[in-house]
Amino acid sequence: MSILLFTTLVFTGSFGAGFLGSLTGLGGGIVIIPLLTTVFGMDIRYAIGASLVSVIATSSGAAAAYVREGFSNIRIGMFLEIATTAGALAGAFLALRMPTPAIALIFGLMLLQSAYVSSRHRDESAGQVKADRLASLLRLNGTYPAREGPVAYNVASVPYGFGLMFIAGAISGLLGIGSGAVKVLAMDRAMRLPFKVSTATSNFMIGVTAAASAGIYLRRGYIDPGLTMPVMLGVLLGSSIGARRMFNAETKTLRIVFGGMIFLLALEMIYTGLKGLLG
């Protein structure tokens, strides 16, 4: 395969990953890593390095649009970043000391659980969510735009969500995916945020989380400019276009896309991990 063809294919795949990542809050990396490892045969640590840079690009491309439209809850994002950044540093150090097949297997199992939980319907009526005392103290409750006008929502279980965000950060550093899946699920299920707010706030957060662990991969030589550049550009363009589609997208459709995509990727990564461990 020529360098030009390789770069074109990687760019195209990254564009699709960025588009889906911005709509679902996954951050693009959740598609990039299986794409690079299974389709192009890249070492998973180099794939993680490129993914972390692309995650930062996704956050830059999509987060600005979501903040401008009013979907992102900046106060929640900044508060939870304390936990995710600490977790990301711990996960990155751990990743450099684990065998590659084990990382792939953990990746797949995490995605499988995320697909199951995300497929379960949740009533997003704001009236059914009791405001957490800490959420009120920190002024985390907010509104998001809808066709009928601004919709108010409350935030629940702030301490529980904060703890889950440390795990999300550790997964980001370990797997290089920005931990968008875990962040969305934590905000959607534990903190009871509306799904669109969860995905938008996740996009706002993932860049900071990824940057915390990307420096470690850069220092160890796992960020290849020739691979990272087309990945970053493709994801950045895709995430910018995907963010514009968010306002008119139906929540039910987003859940189906979210769950179905990561379920298929979970099976693929579990197979890769088991093949490496047993082979």
Lowest-pLDDT range of 3-7, 120-124, 186-190: 120-124
Helix, strand, coil percentages in the chain from 3-state DSSP, rounded to 5: 75, 0, 25
- Residues 228-244: tens digit of each pLDDT: 899 888 888 887 787 67
pLDDT of residue 248: 63
Lowest-pLDDT range of 112-116, 131-135, 178-182, 224-228: 178-182
Higher pLDDT, 258 or 41: 41
- 100-118 helix and 251-278 helix, angle to the nearest 10 degrees: 150
Question: For the residues 146-174, what does the mean pLDDT come to?
Answer: 83
Report whether 53 contacts 232 (CB < 8 A).
Answer: yes
Question: Per the structure block, which two tokens stand in for 125?
Answer: 């009526």
Instruction: Report DSSP state, residue 142.
Output: E
pLDDT of residue 126: 45
Query: In angstroms, rounded to a whole number, what is the distance separating the alpha carbons of residues 269 and 176?
Result: 14
pLDDT at 221 over 60: yes
pLDDT of residue 2: 81
pLDDT at 95 over 80: no
Number of Cβ within 10 Å of residue 219's Cβ equals 11
Query: In angstroms, rounded to a whole number, what is the distance separating the alpha carbons of residues 234 and 239?
Result: 9
Question: For the residues 87-106, what does the mean pLDDT come to?
Answer: 78
pLDDT at 26 over 70: no
pLDDT of residue 179: 62
Number of Cβ within 10 Å of residue 178's Cβ equals 38
Of 76, 90, 109, 88, nearest to 198 (Cα)?
Answer: 76
Number of Cβ within 10 Å of residue 95's Cβ equals 25
Question: For the residues 71-91, what does the mean pLDDT come to?
Answer: 86
pTM of the predicted protein model: 0.65
Question: Per the structure block, which two tokens stand in for 255?
Answer: 């859940």
Instruction: Report DSSP state, residue 126.
Output: G
pLDDT of residue 254: 66
Number of Cβ within 10 Å of residue 127's Cβ equals 9
Lowest-pLDDT range of 7-11, 36-40, 193-197, 206-210: 206-210
pLDDT at 18 over 80: no
Report whether 89 contacts 173 (CB < 8 A).
Answer: yes
Of 43, 2, 46, 39, nearest to 17 (Cα)?
Answer: 39
- 158-175 helix and 195-219 helix, angle to the nearest 10 degrees: 40
Question: Per the structure block, which two tokens stand in for 91?
Answer: 């996960």
Alpha helices, H only, the chain: 3-24, 29-34, 44-69, 74-95, 100-118, 133-137, 158-175, 180-185, 195-219, 225-244, 251-278
Residue reference for tokens 């009526």? 125
Of 52, 31, 43, nearest to 276 (Cα)?
Answer: 43
Q: Which helix (H) or strand (E) holds 151?
A: strand 151-153
Q: Which residues pair with 153 in a beta bridge?
A: 142
Give 78's contacts (C-beta < 8 A, 6+ positions apart): none
pLDDT at 135 over 80: yes
